[in-house]
Every structure is written in structure tokens, then in C-alpha cells.
Structure 1
């Protein structure tokens, strides 16, 4: 596992009225503070990648559909530098994924319908000076290319 990444199993509590699923609580051992809560979506086959934050932890939970979430550790002082990890999150695998600062991340909708991600980052978005540093999802850059292929892997 990439240093600092945490996966929390989410418990779904169903009854005849519907269901309840707690995602992140202030008394969770992994809770690191509150910045804001937002949702983002992706249509089937769409990749939203790559970016990282210098200050912010992200806390992803996929509420509808399925997402393939990929991480790449490019932190110079990390014991897992150069490691790539992949997670499948969503209705068939309810988990919270906590992504630490400095770890590149992105996702691809792998369901037949739009997927919805809830994020509870530790910092509010700063429109004047965003804590967001981007690379393109597929093309190499002058600095680096993340060793990851967003294509489907059969077998």
C-alpha cells in the first residue's frame, strides 16, 4: 500500500425503508479535519486525472456507479515512491479511500451509467490559489509520465 493511503470499509445498513451508510465521522481514527464536502461525477469511460495536493487529504467515497481510482506516489521522501495502486470503488465495493498530500490521483468511470464521487477534503478549495497540481491523464509531460494505463485489463 502506498505510504499514508488508508482504506476504510463502509458498512451499509439496509431496512425496508432504504439504507444508511456512514462515510466519515469526526471520531474516526482517520479523521484529519474538515474543509468542505462536494460531489463530482464522471460519465462512462471518462478519465479525470492526474492531480495532487500539497496540503490537502482527500476522502473519496463513490456513491453511485463504479470508479477505478488510481494513485501514484511521486513524493521524494516516501518509502513507496514510484508505486502505483488501483482501487475499484462504488456500489459493489463501498469503501472510503483517504489520499494523502503529494500522491497523484485520478479516476475512471467503469460503470454503464454516470458515477458519483463524494469527497470530504481536509481543506476548503481556495479559488485564488488552488492547492491542485495537474498532469494530463494520458500524454507524457516534460517532467514525467505516470506509469499507468487507464485501459481495461481483461484476464
Structure 2
């Protein structure tokens, strides 16, 4: 099975089968049958792509109902540290952080169900990130958690004096004060 459990219920790493030869490589980045076989029954409705330079931290972001999003994240160029935080009340892993390097070279992807905050830092000179969402973007339903929340203690793997963070992300609340209607349904 191309899925690896992360220790956080529902959060999965996808390692596609890559076929390489003298011409380059080929792989299926998404196949509904394969994902459905792993219990992932999302109907993705929106693809997003971002380009960022070294040191950019985006996140931690999430949306609440009725636009709570599951995401499938991958890197097209460069490398990132992709971070997910379980914010589902009652989850055995509530407040736990999972981080993984996703890169154009390793071709790994992270499936992030609704109920997780998500962010990433750019480890390479430039990174292009593409992610599928199963709900449309909704500014009114968008929320987040501050990147440097002391209870999460995330190591973004870049010197924080070189971090580039949007004004919007600098004023996000901590985990203890964030808008959080998510409940764990284990």
C-alpha cells in the first residue's frame, strides 16, 4: 500500500509508485481508486498552487464548516517542511504536530483531513507547492494558529530571524484561543 500512517488518526503520507527511465519519470499523483481503497473518500473540488522563496512560513491555516477542508499536498519544485497539527477535540493526538519534508525529488504527498491546521516552511531557494482541496476557499470560514505557538513548539527548520511571514499570519491566535469547532470521530 502506498500510504504510511503518521501516528495521527487520518493523517497519511502517500508515496506514489514512480516509473523512471532515460526520458524522465512518470507517476500517478492522484488515483481515486487507490485513495478510496485507503478509506479516503474525498471529492476534490479545487487545486491551489503557490510559489515561495526560502524562509517563507505559510500557516497554520484551516477552514471551519461548512467549508472545512481536507487537503492533499505535494511539491512540484524545491522542498518544504510540511506541518499538520491535530486540532480535533477529544482526539488522542490533540495538539500533536506532524512534520515531513516534501520535495520535488522525493515526490511524497501528505493527506490532511479536516480538523487539522496546516502550514509549511520553504527549505529550498524556491518551492512550488500544489494541493487539492475537497471544499472551496471561504474567507469567512478561514482561521488559523500562530506559527510560533509555544505549546506546539514547531521546529520549522529555518532560522527564525530569516523567516518571512505574512501580516495576516503574524496576528493569528495560539492553539488555546483559536476558533475550533472540530470534534474527533474515532
The normalised TM-score by structure 1 is: 0.82
Higher alpha-carbon deviation: 60-69 or 32-41 = 32-41
In the alignment, what sits opposite 2:144? 134
Q: 2:134 pairs with 122, 126, 131, which one?
A: 122
Distance 2:61 2:100 in 1: 16
Which structure is richer in relative contact order (CA contacts within 8 A, separation 6 or more)? 1
Aligned residue among 106, 114, 123 for 1:93: 106
The 5-angstrom pairing of residues 1-155 of structure 1 reads 1-28=7-34, 29=36, 30-54=40-64, 55-111=68-124, 113-126=125-138, 129=140, 131-138=141-148, 140=149, 146-152=152-158
Judged with a 3 Å threshold, the aligned counterparts in structure 2 of structure 1 residues 31 and 117 are, in CA distance, closer, same or farther, namely farther
Structure with the largest fraction of helix: 2
Give the gaps of 5 or more residues in structure 2: 1-6, 160-186
Check whether the contact 1:67–1:89 (CA below 8 A) recurs between aligned residues.
yes
CA offsets 1:100-134 (integer angstroms, 9 cap, x no match) = 112111101111x211111111112235x3x4212
Relative to 1, partners in 2 of residues 1:18 and 1:31: Cα closer, same or farther, differing over 3 Å?
A: farther
Scaled by the length of structure 2, what TM-score is found?
0.70
- Structure 1 residue runs without a partner (length 5+): none
